[in-house]
Amino acid sequence: MSRERILGAVVLLALGLVPLAAHVMGEPFTITLATRAAILALAAVGLNIALGIGGLVSLGHATFFGIGGYAMGILASHVQNYEPMFEWPFLFEGSTSMPFIWLVAVLVSALAALLIGLLALRTSGVYFIMITLAFGQMFYFFSISWSAYGGEDGLSIYVRNGFPGLNTLDPIQFFGLCYAVLCLVLLGAHLLARSPFGLALGAARQSPDRVQAVGLDPKRLRLVGFVISGAITGLAGALFADLNRFVSPTMFSWQTSGEIMVFIILGGVGRLFGPVVGAAVFVMLEHFLGDMSEFWHIWLGLLLLAVVLFARGGLVGLIAGREKAHD
């Protein structure tokens, strides 16, 4: 096993064990923090497929995060307020079932990613960065003025949605659920990176000419990669909304997009466990630096600068070495 793998396994194991220890010690807040880290990591795993494999620098992944969040908020709020979503062609009252909400979140974010991708992937480089950013802003402003679902105030869901067989209001059970989803998606991302599709998408980043010359369409590969990426981030959005029992336009803001990207850079671009390390470190920094200084953003900024300038390959790269695993 490569050092990177070992490091990844250790981090993932720690992320699973810390909440268990906290549960035993009666520290539910630590579990909440770990849940937050797991969900943010999931969002970043999604972005890492577009960014790390496909080289698509999307500064608009908050769009999908927000769509996932609102999928949860809208479905659950109709149940909460006893106002059916629609009565024709059949009565639909909304839903408080997590699996159904996840399905909707994934499908709607995938659809959004498809539409955005169709336009944005006509361009590349800086144009792509800015267009994805602008689409995010478009959704942000729309969500602020969409008064039917709370506008800027957002939507509060008083009771966390349900999952068959689990009491999701119990922090450790909800953590277990998010952790399981994260592990499954990580496994999926691992397989995807090595699958024919992952190979082709990676080649489309490194040498689009070559990909064309062997008869594959780099644009279509990127579009599919972008859609998968958006769908995963959308799923993370639905979980994040359930963690907070609340959604608001902040989920769509461009700072959110920036932060998701920060997790990846902190951890290491294109590395399987990079997003997990990045999100865990970010959540810890937010927690401890936030306690130490009112101006903790300065320190966060400096740390980020240092990583970008001096630790290329992120923290995983720093510990496990620059070269990525090849097999």
How many angstroms separate the Cα of 140 from the Cα of each of 43, 235, 238, 254? 18, 18, 17, 8
Quick one: 104 or 277, whose CB is closer to another protein? 277
Q: Report the site for another protein in 245-274 (rule: CB under 8 A).
A: 245-246, 248, 250-251, 254, 258, 261-262, 265, 269
Out of 203, 289, 311, 325, which residue is the one contacting another protein (CB under 8 A)? 203
Write the CA distances from 142 to 59, 67, 148, integer angstroms: 18, 12, 11
| Binder among 200, 231, 272, 315 for another protein (CB under 8 A) | 200
Q: Which stretch binds another protein (CB under 8 A): 88-96, 99-107, 123-131, 229-237?
A: 123-131
Q: Is 42 in the site for another protein (CB under 8 A)?
A: no
Q: Is residue 153 involved in binding another protein (CB under 8 A)?
A: yes
DSSP state of 123: S
Q: Is 16 in the site for another protein (CB under 8 A)?
A: no
Please state, in angstroms and rounded to a whole number, the distance separating the CA atoms of residues 100 and 205.
Answer: 34
In contact, 109 and 233? CB cutoff 8 Å: yes
**Whole-angstrom Cα distance, residue 77 to residue 295?**
36
Q: What is the spatial distance between Cα 279 and Cα 295, in angstroms, rounded to a whole number?
A: 20
Question: Does 326 help bind another protein (rule: CB under 8 A)?
Answer: yes
Least gap, CB of 235 to another protein (angstroms):
16
User: Residue 311 interacts with another protein (CB under 8 A)?
Assistant: no
Q: d(Cα 308, Cα 301) in Å, to the nearest integer?
A: 11
Kindly state whether residue 3 participates in binding another protein, applying the rule CB under 8 A: no
* 217 binding another protein? (CB under 8 A): yes
Helix (H) or strand (E) holding 32, with range, is helix 28-48
Out of 164, 213, 292, 322, point to the residue binding another protein (CB under 8 A). Answer: 213
Which of 244, 271, 315, 316 is in the footprint of another protein by CB under 8 A?
Answer: 244
